[in-house]
Every structure is written in structure tokens, then in C-alpha cells.
């Protein structure tokens, strides 16, 4: 677990000496002249003998960001609405950051960085409601990709921050690797939004008209068991590829969300990763 360099009070481990909750070790009394923290047992173990005191780290705040992929595929709606899911998740992250005394910021991208949705890191109350309203009222997404994602790093603080990368990860491999590489100075949590209607709840027989949301191209498919099986297998392969790319880039394990957002599941994922 990395340590923050912030001097703003909060709930995260820092590199700053002080406090009383995060034990650092024993130091000579002259380095920390606090008589209340003298430890006689530690003092007796020293050679030559000298007074030793318990030293602690302060707890501080960090910056928490949500980086959002607003490519056209995010407007897919099947058994869930990905735009609604994204709004719920982002608002939950903002509320959690505020509750822990952290600053929350937001960067949204498609083929450009969306200045109207940008939020600089802030401690202000009500930011969760504000970002929710912004995201839930996004106008219909155009037929665009997410090529600006690697440039999102330019909007983040230089200090190491906790970054939630929220996307359906329907990105080509080059763009995914560029995005993850650009965010490597930070602690990145990939959040993958999938809909079971994309690959699981598909009829075994019949004609289907499908559209690539990011190009606008339509195509007719005759569904049959062998084709449905290939579609499901391709998603299983894609899941493994996303996990592999994230681990190679040094991020945390991706958190997959399908149809419904479970706040407790994300909390457990964060704690297990830590």
C-alpha cells in the first residue's frame, strides 16, 4: 500500500511523522521528545542503552479521480443502462471520497476531453450530487471513440492519486495499453461496465440486426448455436485480455460490473486488493 504525501488531514497512511494510529517503529528519544511515548521494553533492548519512543505516521487525505470513457458504446442499453451505471458509480465514489475527507475530481473523454464535465479535485459538500446530475443529463453520445483517454493524465495532479478508470473497455489493444501506461504514476482501479445482453442473453436461432455504436455500421446476422457460442467465447477471451493488460501495466485487478452496481462488492474488491 502506497503512502500519501498530503498534509491535509484524512484517513490514509502518509509519510509524515506524527499522529497516534499508524505505528512506524521505535526511534531515539532525542528524535521525538515526547515522554508519553517512551517504551521501556524497547529501551532495555538497545545497545548501548538509550531511551526509545514509539513513532507514528500521520493520517492524511488523497485526491480521488474518476476517469470516464464516453465513447459511443457506453450508450448501449440492454439489461441495464451503462450511462446510468456510470453516473451511479461515479457519484458513489465522490460520496465515499467526501466522507473520508478526500478531494474528488472527474475527467471525461471521448475523442476529446470534455471540458464541460471536468471537475477539479474538490472537498466541497454536495459534489456527489453535482456529478450525478451532470452525467445523468449527458446529451446523446455521438459516434465517437475514446482516443483522448491517454491524455486524461494531463488533467490529474502530479502527486500519486487513486484513479477509477470507468469504461466498457471495448477499446483496441493499442489504445488500452497507452491509457494504462499514461496512468502508471497513479493507483489505478479499472472498472469494467458490461451488459449481459451483449453476449449472454442472445437467442440461439433467428435473424438479428446489429449496429456498431462507434462507427454506425449496421449488419445482419443469422443467429445459430455455433455463432452464439463464439460470441460468448470471445467475451471470455476479452475478459482475460483485460485482466492481463491491467496486471502487466501494474494496476489493480479490474472490477467487472454486469447489469447492476453493488457498492459493497466494490468495497470488498478494494479491501482485498489492499
How many domains does the chain contain in total?
2
Residues 172, 223 within the same domain: yes
Residues 131, 18 within the same domain: no
Residues 130, 182 within the same domain: yes
Residues 129, 163 within the same domain: yes
Residues 193, 146 within the same domain: yes
Residues 51, 39 within the same domain: yes
Residues 165, 208 within the same domain: yes
* Summary mean pLDDT of the chain: 85
Residues 48, 67 within the same domain: no
Residues 51, 133 within the same domain: no
Query: Is 10 a residue whose pLDDT tops 60?
Result: no
Residues 79, 107 within the same domain: yes
Q: What is the pLDDT of residue 140?
A: 61
Q: What is the pLDDT of residue 7?
A: 46
Chain segment 35-91, per-residue pLDDT in tens: 888 888 888 888 888 999 888 877 678 899 999 999 988 888 778 889 999 999 999
- 237 within a domain of the structure (yes/no): yes
Range of the domain at 264: 63-273
Dist. CA 98–CA 105, nearest whole Å? 11
- 144 within a domain of the structure (yes/no): yes
- 121 within a domain of the structure (yes/no): yes
On the 0-12 / 13-18 / 19+ scale of CB atoms within 10 A, 60 is buried
Q: What is the pLDDT of residue 167?
A: 95
Q: Which grid cell is 231?
A: 460470441
Position 31 confidence tier, pLDDT thresholds 50, 70, 90: confident
What pTM does this model have? 0.78
Dist. CA 72–CA 75, nearest whole Å? 6
Q: What is the CATH number of the domain that holds 82?
A: 3.40.50.410
Region 230-249: mean pLDDT is 92
Q: What is the pLDDT of residue 40?
A: 87
**Cβ neighbours of residue 202 under 8 Å, at least 6 residues apart?**
208, 223, 228, 231, 232
Residues 267, 133 within the same domain: yes
Q: What is the pLDDT of residue 111?
A: 92
Query: Is 175 a residue whose pLDDT tops 90?
Result: yes
Residues 182, 249 within the same domain: yes
Position 144 confidence tier, pLDDT thresholds 50, 70, 90: confident
Q: What is the pLDDT of residue 147?
A: 94
Amino acid at each position: 500500500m502506497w503512502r500519501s504525501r498530503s498534509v491535509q488531514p484524512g484517513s490514509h497512511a502518509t509519510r509524515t511523522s506524527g499522529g497516534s494510529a499508524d505505528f512506524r517503529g521505535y526511534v531515539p528519544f532525542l528524535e521525538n521528545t515526547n515522554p508519553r511515548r517512551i517504551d521501556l521494553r524497547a529501551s532495555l533492548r538497545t545497545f548501548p542503552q538509550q531511551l526509545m519512543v514509539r513513532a507514528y505516521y500521520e493520517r492524511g487525505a488523497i485526491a480521488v479521480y474518476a476517469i470516464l470513457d464516453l465513447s459511443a458504446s457506453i450508450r448501449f442499453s440492454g439489461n441495464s443502462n451503462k450511462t446510468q451505471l456510470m453516473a451511479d458509480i461515479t457519484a458513489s465514489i465522490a460520496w465515499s471520497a467526501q466522507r473520508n475527507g478526500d478531494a474528488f475530481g472527474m475527467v471525461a473523454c471521448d475523442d476529446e476531453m470534455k471540458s464541460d464535465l471536468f471537475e477539479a479535485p474538490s472537498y466541497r459538500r454536495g459534489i456527489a450530487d453535482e456529478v450525478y446530475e451532470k452525467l445523468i443529463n449527458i446529451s446523446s453520445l455521438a459516434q465517437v471513440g475514446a482516443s483522448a483517454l491517454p491524455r486524461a493524465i494531463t488533467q490529474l495532479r502530479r502527486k500519486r492519486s487513486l484513479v477509477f478508470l470507468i469504461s466498457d473497455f471495448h477499446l483496441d489493444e493499442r489504445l488500452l495499453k497507452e491509457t494504462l501506461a499514461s496512468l502508471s504514476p497513479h493507483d489505478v482501479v479499472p472498472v469494467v461496465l458490461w451488459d449481459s445482453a451483449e453476449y449472454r442473453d442472445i437467442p440461439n436461432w433467428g435473424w438479428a440486426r446489429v449496429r456498431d455504436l462507434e462507427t454506425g455500421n449496421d449488419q445482419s446476422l443469422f443467429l445459430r448455436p455455433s455463432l452464439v457460442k463464439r460470441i460468448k467465447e470471445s467475451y471470455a477471451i476479452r475478459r482475460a485480455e483485460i485482466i492481463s493488460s491491467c496486471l502487466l501495466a501494474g494496476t489493480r485487478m479490474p472490477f467487472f460490473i454486469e447489469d447492476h452496481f453493488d457498492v459493497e462488492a466494490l468495497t470488498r474488491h478494494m479491501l482485498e486488493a489492499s
